Amino acid sequence: MAIFNGTKLGVYIQTGSPAADVLIAAATDCSLSLSMETIDITTKDSAGFRELLGGLRSGSVSVSGLIDYQDASNQDVTDLYSAWRNRTSLTLVVSTNVSGDQKYTFSAFLTSLEQSGGTEDTATYSASFEIDGQITEATIS
């Protein structure tokens, strides 16, 4: 069993080579959610039990974190805003970035971007992406 610390799991924006993938800004939380619709194929021959076929598969990614407008090394909220404003599809990678672990690569659209800042509190953001097309699974080398 290879249980790992969730701090290692991140959402990266692919920039060309795996070594150059950019971790999305000061993230504190991320998730990859996959789902599949089902098609009901129950007939009178089903003996009163529901029967299904697999249908459309889809997925989404969410990431949230702290806002740092001054750190140019991070893929920050302003870069995400540009992708939303331009309706640009991004190539995302969900991985630990550790050799031997799995990574998931896909195209996605930014569908939601929120910034929040409470009185005497840290400014935060949250972003949601909808996966467009297939997901590629690979082992990190």
Inside any domain, residue 86: yes
Inside any domain, residue 1: no
Task: Answer yes or no: are the C-beta atoms of 106 and 135 closer than 8 Å.
Answer: yes
User: Has residue 87 got a pLDDT over 80?
Assistant: yes
73 falls in which pLDDT band (50, 70, 90)?
low
Inside any domain, residue 100: yes
Strands annotated E in the chain: 10-13, 22-23, 27-40, 52-66, 89-95, 102-116, 124-139
pLDDT, position 135: 96
Q: What predicted TM-score, i.e. pTM, was given to this entire model?
A: 0.87
Q: What does the pLDDT average to over 126-136?
A: 96
**Higher confidence at residue 22 or residue 73?**
22
Inside any domain, residue 55: yes
Inside any domain, residue 119: yes
Inside any domain, residue 99: yes
Inside any domain, residue 69: yes
**Number of domains comprising the chain:** 1
Task: Answer yes or no: are the C-beta atoms of 77 and 25 closer than 8 Å.
Answer: yes
Q: Which domain holds residue 33?
A: 6-139
pLDDT, one tens digit per residue, over 27-72 is 999 999 999 999 999 999 999 999 999 999 999 999 999 988 777 6
CATH number at residue 122: 2.30.110
